[in-house]
Structure 1
């Protein structure tokens, strides 16, 4: 089912006249006062946004993850580069009845070490675990890796990096080449959303060609593009393509499409501002 979210918040917002349709290739993220922040930000610019989930996730190795989290003395710190990895932590603590231990003393032991994150969304989830984060403004794993190198010059214990099956190797390679020990564990597997093609077909049939399409990950580009090309054909050239950041922008450019905007920072406001400028 296509997820078209309308503004619904206790704070009254007067929307300008809708100018153009924007397709956001991501799952919704609900906030306390209503809909996904990307929908709200684009609405404030006068554009109607529709969300279509692209990815499906399956958590794996949760028992091993739990074992690692219960032994902070074996690691020099934590690294989170995606909200899904944080969800895996929550799930494993709940599944193996470790939430009380986590809140009582484990989180404090991890807080005595470094906890690195990419992006404000991931940072917010990690902070909800009671952890103190650094690096949220890094924007990409590549930038975060350089921050880690500055902070971990004398690191002897490995940093622990729970990650997804489609993680890029930039961060592990950079740390390894510079002598910073790292232990990775795949805690979720990423695949194409089972209803992706149907949702895209329904969207284009009902709403036509959007003015802009925004991608939120290289895997989103990989899974969506073939369907979009098949459904739109030559009309593909009418669309302004947007990216949440440089890594996703590179993935779009690598398949021969022009990137109209790449968010300066991976936030709803920065992406919406960029899309609005590209559509002027």
Structure 2
């Protein structure tokens, strides 16, 4: 059986866990992403990244926020500036993250991640609050639909934070094409299977009983049919009425 999953593949490398689990039960799963991401305010974000002395650290709660850093570094030789000075300055400050996927991307930037085992924003906020509060605000790049748990918890503890929206979710531009392609492929496979079944020679044992009986009678040679007819006993002659009636 085939299963269609409307989701992105997991962030880390390797097989998607949903595909793997369904495969263990004999199900063939296909992934089609329905959402994409549009990155926003990257020039403004870069300006903030260029002034690490104005912040007490960084907070990343999603891989997309880290991707926004990568995109900011791709333009106008900014990657060299990052490697020569900015990376080292940011590494002197805490870089808080949620999850191993986010931590892995942060490490590719050359930064040391903290709190990746927290698992969610609330647990990360608890981790941050347990540390010595920074004198400067924490820079928090986030999505347009960010949760309010982490900002509110930090605010309640008096920890300054400055958020900037760097991405938002949008419908995946290729979803219709991908769905049409998927269903077209399934239709072609189904038609091919039906054609193979129809082209198989019919077994005499699969025919109905009446058809087999007719075939055995009408499909025989005339001699065989005559032999069968002669071998069957003839019907007895009709009896005369009893008692016999006298003739006039």
Q: In structure 2, do the counterparts of structure 1 residues 142 and 197 end up closer, same or farther at CA, with 3 Å as the change threshold?
A: farther
Q: Which of 105, 124, 127 is 2:104 aligned to?
A: 124
Q: Which of 136, 142, 157 is 2:116 aligned to?
A: 136
| 1:204-219 pair list within 5 angstroms | none
* Contact preservation (8 Å) 1:57, 1:188: yes
2:221 alignment partner in structure 1: none
* Contact preservation (8 Å) 1:57, 1:191: yes
- How does the TM-score come out when normalised to structure 1? 0.59
* Structure 2 residues without counterparts, runs of 5 or longer: 188-248
1:181 alignment partner in structure 2: 160
Q: In structure 2, do the counterparts of structure 1 residues 127 and 101 end up closer, same or farther at CA, with 3 Å as the change threshold?
A: same
1:191 alignment partner in structure 2: 170
Q: Rg bigger for which structure?
A: 2
> 1:163 & 1:147 partners in 2: Cα distance?
19
> 2:184 & 2:123 partners in 1: Cα distance?
40
Q: Which of 65, 75, 94 is 2:55 aligned to?
A: 75
* Contact preservation (8 Å) 2:8, 2:31: yes
> 1:101 & 1:108 partners in 2: Cα distance?
11
Superposed displacement of residue 54, structure 1: 2.2
- How does the TM-score come out when normalised to structure 2? 0.66
The number of equivalent residue pairs is 186
* Contact preservation (8 Å) 1:27, 1:54: no
> 1:207 & 1:182 partners in 2: Cα distance?
51
Q: In structure 2, do the counterparts of structure 1 residues 26 and 150 end up closer, same or farther at CA, with 3 Å as the change threshold?
A: same
> 1:203 & 1:20 partners in 2: Cα distance?
11
1:98 alignment partner in structure 2: 78
Superposed displacement of residue 60, structure 1: 1.2
SS of corresponding position for 1:78? strand
Give CA deviations for 1:41-70 in whole Å, capped at 9, x if unaligned.
437735533212121211111111111111
* Contact preservation (8 Å) 1:88, 1:188: yes
* Structure 1 residues without counterparts, runs of 5 or longer: 1-18, 209-280
Superposed displacement of residue 164, structure 1: 0.9
Superposed displacement of residue 186, structure 1: 0.6
> 1:96 & 1:175 partners in 2: Cα distance?
35
* Contact preservation (8 Å) 1:117, 1:134: yes
1:26 alignment partner in structure 2: 8
Q: In structure 2, do the counterparts of structure 1 residues 52 and 201 end up closer, same or farther at CA, with 3 Å as the change threshold?
A: same
* Root mean square deviation, CA, Å: 2.7
